[in-house]
A = this chain, B = another copy of it.
Amino acid sequence: MDDLDSFGPGHIGSYQAERRARSRPLPVHPKGIRRRREILDRSLEVFAERGVDGTSLRAIGEAIGVSHAALRNYFASREELLVELLLERDVRSEASREEAESVFGHLTNTAEANSEIAGIVALYTVMMGNAIQQAEGDAREYFTERFELNRADLSSRLEEELSTHGLTATEDLGDVAALIMAAFDGLQVQWLLDDRVDITRILKLLERLLLASARPADAAPGQSV
């Protein structure tokens, strides 16, 4: 019912574990757990209203009624808080992926769900920009690991799906996965700046192109379609 991502990570990934070790310990008492949830929920509300750059720790704290310093009992930094929001969305996206009938089915579902919540798409894109301007940092690690996992996952799911239809790929599926992910992310940016860009329609175009390039599994290489 939400999220923007290009496919949630198939599994959570080693980065997750490392990050957990580095960051604030998860609260164990009910009050702490509620507080942490409240911070995450309010953060989403605040940047839905004021944009990503308007979402300062002070603004979030103000929305809850605590000082900005209090937030840092739960999140070591503002960046960590925002990455946590992206991770939560990945988990939900992963759930919806398991219901989807095909790779591109999930992609277009995601694109359509995203169109209703531009806020999180914007957060994703802004964080992507933040990620690459750092030598290290939570956002950079998040995206690096995410891309790597998704390339591998998507690649194997594509292979599986092709063989189900009695097809064999004529192109490197790792490259195809990178291409699909790049197209998805790039189209989201264009859509954010101009909503006439129809992500779903263009993804279906890409799907047609890729399907046409596959060949029957029993045919000799060279004769496509």
Contacts and interface: CB of A to CB of B under 8 A. Distances in A.
A63 interface: no
Nearest to A126: B129
Interface stretch (A26-34, A69-77, A205-213): A205-213
Interface residues of A, number: 51
A178 interface: yes
A99 interface: no
Given A126-B132, A147-B193, A210 B209 contact: yes
A185 interface: yes
A189 B185 contact: yes
Query: Main SS of the interface on chain A?
Result: helix
A224 B143 CA distance: 38
Contacts of A143: 189, 193
A212 B208 CA distance: 11
A197 interface: yes
B205 A52 contact: no
A21 to B, nearest CB: 22
A133 interface: yes
Given A122-B133, A209-B210, A187 B193 contact: no
Interface string A191-218: 0111001100110011011101100000
Interface stretch (A11-19, A38-46, A169-177): A169-177
A151 B51 CA distance: 27
A175 B193 contact: no
A208 B225 CA distance: 14
Contacts of A129: 125-130
